[in-house]
Structure 1
């Protein structure tokens, strides 16, 4: 009985060894399978896509660089044109200003010459049609005189005369005084020094104008009413 048990035990151990050896031999004989064809295609497609993307990025970069350079060139050209136009406009404005000034000077000179000629004709022929003074003015002793309507302050009267290229009358001789008296005017601004007394009226005589008290325009004068007793 004991002999059978030993034999069975040995047989079992031998069978286990044999099985293990077969398994190891089987594993040694196995070879890894080669990658399939579809995997190769996928890898190639991915590589191709990457190359195409790189080429596309290069093309886009080149286009952007070219476009940027073109825009910079155009911007510089436009800036140059703008500066040239500004210089031309400034030059034209300067020329126009100079031309206007020259024309104005020539016009004033011609007007002055024409007025002088007209005055000479008027002296020789008082009835001559040539009028040396503007419309509404009177010619007397080489000067033109005109009356301002209404009442104004001294400053406003000066401004009104200045607008018409004239000045307030300053009587320097008896002849002009007689001319003013002949006009029968009511209100005057006179170039007199301020008086200490409160006289409200004064006879219009040469004493007023041809005395040391006559000093020209005073900005603080009041309206002086002068009456003629003649």
Structure 2
């Protein structure tokens, strides 16, 4: 009896062990499905993360596109405003240029009128204050002339004119020629360049186109050099140390419009 119980116990123990082995074997086989389930969870999380990233990029792209459109509209407005300013500026510059031209033309016309009026006044009153030349000087066309009978050498005559901010008379154009012919000057030094030989006399027409007009310093004139002088209607050469009269010339100042409108002759010296 005791042996049967022992066998039964052993048999039961063996069957219990086999069942435990089977159960443990069964559990070992079911382990892989638990790992696969974890991988699916991770994949799902990554997928959701990617979707969130794509959504975020889409939102950012939309914001960027909207902002870009707004900025482009602003840029277009600024460009249009700039172009409008440039057009307005160009129109203003053109108007200013036209206005300046009108003013210049008007000033030139007024100056011409004032000059002609002053010339008429000068014919009636040689010392009228509108005269653009210093006192005692003769006004003709664009030049002022100072005629002095001082009987000095050519060098002294040239230095005297230089002290008056002028030069010896030069006959280079028709206007000066007409002035000289009308005055019939006799024995006046000219601004011809001194020369070493005595040239033949010439008429005023011939001397007008000459290239011998004074070009050297008066200090360089030697005792044996010849200088030209005026004896209307001819030009002669004589020793530069001879004594003759002086005619100085210089450009006239512009006629002052306000002086032209005044008729009184001021009791003052002209500079």
- Normalising by structure 1, what TM-score? 0.55
Offset, 1:63: 1.8
Check the 8 A contact 1:187/1:226 in 2, yes or no: yes
**Partner residue in 2 for 1:91:** 91
Matched, 1:65 2:65: yes
Aligned ranges 1:45-194 → 2 under 5 Å: 45-131=45-131, 133=132, 138-140=138-140, 143-146=141-144, 169-170=173-174, 171-173=176-178, 175-177=179-181, 179=183, 181=185, 184-188=188-192
Q: Secondary structure at the match of 1:227?
A: strand
Q: CA RMSD in A?
A: 4.2
Distance 1:59 1:44, change over 3 A: same
* Structure of greater relative contact order (alpha carbons < 8 Å, 6+ residues apart): 2
Q: Where does residue 213 of structure 2 map in the other structure?
A: 223
Partners of 1:71 and 1:176 in 2: CA distance = 80
Q: Deviations over 1:73-118 (max 9, x none)?
A: 2332222222222222222222221111110110011111112222
* 1:209 correspondence with 2:207: no
Runs of 5+ consecutive residues of structure 2 not aligned to the other structure: 1-17, 146-160, 163-171, 215-226, 231-237, 239-243, 245-271
Secondary structure of the structure 1 residue equivalent to 2:122: helix
The gaps in structure 1 that reach 5 residues or longer are 1-18, 151-167, 190-197
**Match of 1:81, SS?**
helix
- Contact kept? 2:192, 2:228, Cα under 8 Å: yes
From the two aligned structures, give the one with the greater strand fraction.
2
The range that moved more, 49-58 or 59-68, is 59-68
Number of equivalences:
171
Asked if the contact 1:188–1:223 (Cα under 8 Å) also holds between the matched residues in 2, the reply is: yes
Measure, in 1, the Cα distance between the counterparts of 2:134 and 2:70: 68
